[in-house]
Structure 1
Amino acid sequence: MASSSQVMAWYFNAQATEAIAILRGIQFSKDCGLSPCYVKSDAEVVVRWINESSHLDSLCGAILADIILISSEMIGLCFNYIPRQANQVAQLLAKNALLLTDDRFWMEEYPCCVTRMVTCLCSVFSVCFVSSYLY
């Protein structure tokens, strides 16, 4: 239904980078009115921290707190871990973002880099958004 490739201007550790990807993804979903929304991430530790509302005093605590706050405002939002191999669309979007100088957003269409893969997946699954960053 919607996708994005977003550029990060700063370098963060792996957990903070994944948390920012999730935060930007749910902000985008909220702005697009996509609800319920299922966040599927290969960042198992970050997904666990969000689901447990823990590590709010860590280096990425403010990001986690923002995720928890926004998720409390969205009906049906849930966070699940999936292995990186099962998250190929997000990986292609992340690789595409490395080539960009500005953020890109798509509504009811797909970026060229993932069109074939999304078309195949749509016949099997219903996906609201996928979000990931390469680091």
Structure 2
Amino acid sequence: MIHWNPPPSNWVKVNVDAGFSAAKQLTTSGFVIRNEEGLILGSGFRVHNLVTTATMAEAIAALHGLQFASDMGFSHVILESDSKLTIKNLTFPGGDYSETRSVTFDVKVWARSFSGCRFEFTARQGNSVTHALAEEGMRRLEDCF
């Protein structure tokens, strides 16, 4: 069984996920920040218009998750996503030439603002809380932190 795993001591885990509706031309980015005990230290979702692909929505979710973690003052962050492509683009040592390259670049810039920052893939089952937040954003159609 796959489930959420806590970060090491003195680190936080930022789980991110995106909701996407091509019909509504609407996406949401959800994020949850938890410590090694599993306590939720922050969470929220943002609603976006005119994002045209799920891939871009996932990259934007990563960006917003890191921005929120930075705003909260965390120094050691593991960003976890169930998007293999997003994690691949963020960890690939060469240039990102995908449609998300501008967002990927911004995520990498934000990552340098932390003392430690890692990017990891998790299966959807390990990201269920964040997935639920992204879905809630699609229902509410407003930002919530």
Q: Same fold (TM over 0.5)?
A: yes
Higher strand share: 2
The answer on 1:51 being equivalent to 2:91 is: yes
Amino acid at match of 1:86: G
**Which fold has the larger relative contact order, with Cα–Cα distance below 8 Å and residues 6 or more apart in sequence?**
1
Q: Can you list the C-alpha shifts for 1:31-53, whole angstroms capped at 9, x where unaligned?
A: 11122111110001110110114
Count of matched residue pairs: 105
**CA RMSD, Structure 1 to Structure 2 (Å):** 1.4
Q: Give the aligned partner of residue 59 of structure 2.
A: 19
Tell me how far 1:55 sits from its aligned partner: 5.0
Tell me how far apart the structure 1 counterparts of residues 93 and 53 of structure 2 sit (CA, whole Å).
Answer: 19
Structure 2 unmatched ranges of 5 or more: 1-40
Flag structure 1 segments of 5+ consecutive residues without an equivalent. Answer: 106-135
More helix by share: 1
Q: Secondary structure at the match of 1:37?
A: strand
Q: Percent identity?
A: 27
Whole-angstrom distance in 1 between the partners of 2:127 and 2:71:
23
Classify the secondary structure of the residue corresponding to 1:80.
strand
One-letter identity of the residue aligned with 2:87: V
Matched, 1:30 2:34: no
1:67 partner amino acid: V
Match of 2:101 among 51, 55, 61: 61
Match of 1:85 in 2: 125
Matches within 5 A, 1:113-124: none
| Secondary structure class of the residue paired with 2:43 | strand
User: What is the identity, as a one-letter code, of the residue corresponding to 2:118?
Assistant: C
Q: For the residues of structure 2 that align with 1:45 and 1:9, how far apart are their CA atoms?
A: 22
Partner of 1:94: 134
1:9 aligns with 2:49: yes
Distance in 1, Cα, partners of 2:58 & 2:112: 19
TM-score, normalised to structure 1, is 0.72
Equivalent residue in structure 2 for 1:74, among 82, 89, 114: 114
> What's the TM-score, normalizing by structure 2?
0.67
